[in-house]
Amino acid sequence: MINNFEKITSKQNTKIKWIRSLLSHRQERKNSNCYVLEGVRLIEEAHKANIIPELVLFSSNISTRGNQVLESFKSNTNEIYEVNYDLLRFISKTENPQGIIAVFNKTVLSIPEQADFLLIADGIRDPGNMGTLIRTSLAANVNALILTPGSVDIFSPKVLRSGMGGHLHLPIHTLEWEQIINIFKKDRSINMSYFLAASENGKPYWQPDYKVPSAVIIGSEADGASKYAHMIASEHISIPISKNSESLNAAIAAGIILFEIVRQRSS
């Protein structure tokens, strides 16, 4: 059972305003180094990853499973408040809130020193695409997801929902191209090959030998890969598709290539 907690009832409460600002504004997330998770599933993932929330709000419609997560935070989170469901809906970015919202400090996992399997997302701006890239990278056991400048904020509500908690378990770093070159071409002993997914003029994606240390570069659907991606690429690869189709969704294309690498390395 949920014990009695202090209640917040006003939309003008400073904590309510802060959460709404975190959900709506990238700059606020950047300035405060915090982000918001909504719903039992995502907050449960944070608990599994031993990430402690700074602030938790819950309402009476919280499920038994959600209540278990809430109870687990009681010993190490002082800022837990009860709100009515209408106020939770006022805050939430989801149509039917699951009775719990929490604020967390941003944490970024380190890139493994001997990383030999990377995905570089070059200017991906669509939140759904980015979330799927995160989930797919985690499923394929990618060592790290590297984002280039101009990418969508991975801590935005839409990315967090579509990523299904993948950001909690996967190293995700936004780097300038110069940093990417310095870290993975100069500073480490691993000789990385860079495979740029191109819509045409590339060899079929299954032909390269991916048993070598490999980084796959996926450009945005709108603009394609940047000039820096073309400069760094060791090889251009493509996925043959129907002549009636212009291109593949960036996240789908990444999944096809990543799991070809998994297949090769498992054989």
**pTM, full prediction:** 0.88
pLDDT, tens digit (0-9, with 9 covering 90-100), for 65-74: 989 988 888 8
Helices (H) and strands (E) in the chain, counts: 10, 11
The candidate with the shortest Cα–Cα distance to 24, out of 68, 90, 69, is 90
Q: What is the mean pLDDT of residues 237-255?
A: 84
* CATH fold label, 14-105: 60s Ribosomal Protein L30; Chain: A; (3.30.1330)
Residues 121 and 253: their CA atoms lie apart, in Å, by 12
pLDDT at 1 over 50: no
pLDDT at 38 over 80: yes
Residues 241 and 135: their CA atoms lie apart, in Å, by 24
- 221 touches 126 (CB < 8 A): yes
* CATH fold label, 117-266: Alpha/beta knot (3.40.1280)
- Sorted by where each begins, the domain ranges of the chain are 14-105, 117-266
pLDDT, tens digit (0-9, with 9 covering 90-100), for 129-188: 999 999 999 999 999 999 998 899 999 999 999 999 899 999 999 999 888 888 776 656
